[in-house]
Amino acid sequence: MNDASPNPVPPVMPVAAWPKWLLPVVFVVLLGVLAGVALLLSGRIQSLEGDVARRLSDIDRASVSLKGEAAGAVSKVGELASRIAALEAQALEAQNQQVSLASMYHELARGQDERLLADMEHTLLLAQQQLYLTGNVRAAILGLEAAEARLTRIKRARFEPLRNAMAHDLERLRLTPAADTGALRARLDALIEGVPSWGLESGPEPGEARHDLPVAKSAAPGDWLWRLSSELWAEFRSLVRIRRLEHPELPLLTPEQEFFVRENIKLRLLSARMAAFARDEATWQSDLKAAGDWLARYFNSRDPAVKAARVSLADLSRAQLSLQGLDLAASLKALSAVRPGGD
């Protein structure tokens, strides 16, 4: 039986058995390989160094550019910061101006309200004076209508109570019956013009002819006796007058006294006319009563003109001049409540 392996290992030749010329060749080959590798590595290193230098140069240039850009950015940031500061200052100034304008607007609005309320107060006081001093209801109504229309156009809830109070007073004035003072003054003017025609108690009877010159009937020529008797009778009638006096205690008035009697009664009637204009009830009644007393005392009650004057004075004394209960207290109170600090 064969014990040998099927693949026998070839025997290794020892180094000593190599040929002598092989070692130098191997050494030279190794040196060439090493030189080639060194040259290759040197080229690669030089290429890498060039790339690194180029990249460093690019980096330096980029760094310089970035530095310039950074400086520009810093400058722009500073400029923007200054602009922002200026804008903030302008915004603060605008805010202050807005606050000032708002304050001025409120002051202006308050001033307009104050002027409006002052106008309303002036209108109400003027209407009140028209009622108290002259009793001119129509003028008071016109003033209140204008004031109410102005408040209606404004349409503010603050002034609504004042407008309602004015409307209430206005309705009350419209329903008030007012005496026609114009007609009363016209009747007084007619009486004043008729004073000179009123017959005095001491004057001649109404319709009595004066015989200042004797009136003779036509007579035949030569009838001197009849003519003389007619003249004597006419002269006697002009000197002597017999009549009944209603006030025998009064002395006969001289022409000067008659003048002053007529002027005094005219003054009383003129005073009553002014009282009618002012709706002064007390003065009106007092002057009419005095005029009536003078008329009954010094003037002839049988004179038709005197009779008509006494009837007219009686009618005038029954006229109601005063306006009872008419005032604008509700409107004035509402105005006081609307005012700042009012009740």
Q: How many domains does the chain have?
A: 3
What six digits make up the tokens of 200? Answer: 């005095």
156 lies in the same domain as 103? yes
Mean pLDDT within 260-272: 90
Mean pLDDT within 52-70: 82
**In 3-state terms, what secondary structure has residue 224?**
helix
215 lies in the same domain as 317? no
How many helical (H) and strand (E) elements, i.e. helices and strands, does the chain have? 9, 0
48 lies in the same domain as 192? no
Last residue of a domain, one of 131, 161, 178: 178
**Integer Cα distance of 176 and 169 in angstroms:** 11
Tell me, what's the pLDDT at 215? 45
Tell me, what's the pLDDT at 267? 92
At 4-39, the pLDDT tens digits run 445 555 555 555 555 677 777 777 888 888 888 888
pTM for this entry = 0.41
Lowest mean pLDDT among 94-98, 108-112, 305-309, 318-322: 108-112
Output the DSSP codes for 187-206.
HHHHHHHHGGGSPBTTSPPT
In a domain, 3, yes or no: no
62 lies in the same domain as 146? yes
Cβ contacts of residue 131 below 8 Å, gap of 6+?
137, 140, 323, 326, 327, 328
Mean pLDDT within 73-93: 84
The CA angle 114-115-119, to the nearest 5 degrees, is 115
- Residue with token string 């040998």: 4
In a domain, 330, yes or no: no
Cβ contacts of residue 250 below 8 Å, gap of 6+?
201, 202, 297, 298
Could you tell me the residue range of the domain that residue 316 belongs to?
179-205+250-322
User: Average pLDDT over the chain, rounded to whole?
Assistant: 76
In a domain, 144, yes or no: yes
pLDDT for residue 82 is more than 70: yes
Tell me, what's the pLDDT at 209? 43
Identify the H or E element spanning 25: helix 22-129
Mean pLDDT within 88-116: 73
212 lies in the same domain as 168? no
Lowest mean pLDDT among 14-23, 280-289, 322-331: 14-23
59 lies in the same domain as 150? yes
159 lies in the same domain as 306? no
In a domain, 336, yes or no: no
In a domain, 338, yes or no: no
In a domain, 131, yes or no: yes
In a domain, 328, yes or no: no
Q: Per mean pLDDT, which of 43-52, 186-195, 207-216 is the most reliable?
A: 186-195
50 lies in the same domain as 79? yes
Mean pLDDT within 67-96: 83
Tell me, what's the pLDDT at 269? 92
289 lies in the same domain as 317? yes
Query: In angstroms, how far is the first alpha carbon of the chain from the final one?
Result: 148
79 lies in the same domain as 133? yes
What phi, psi does 102 have (nearest 5°)?
Answer: -65, -40
At 170-201, the pLDDT tens digits run 888 777 655 567 778 888 899 999 988 888 87
**Integer Cα distance of 44 and 35 in angstroms:** 14
192 lies in the same domain as 125? no
192 lies in the same domain as 213? no
In a domain, 171, yes or no: yes
pLDDT for residue 138 is more than 70: yes
At 296-323, the pLDDT tens digits run 888 888 889 889 999 999 888 887 776 6
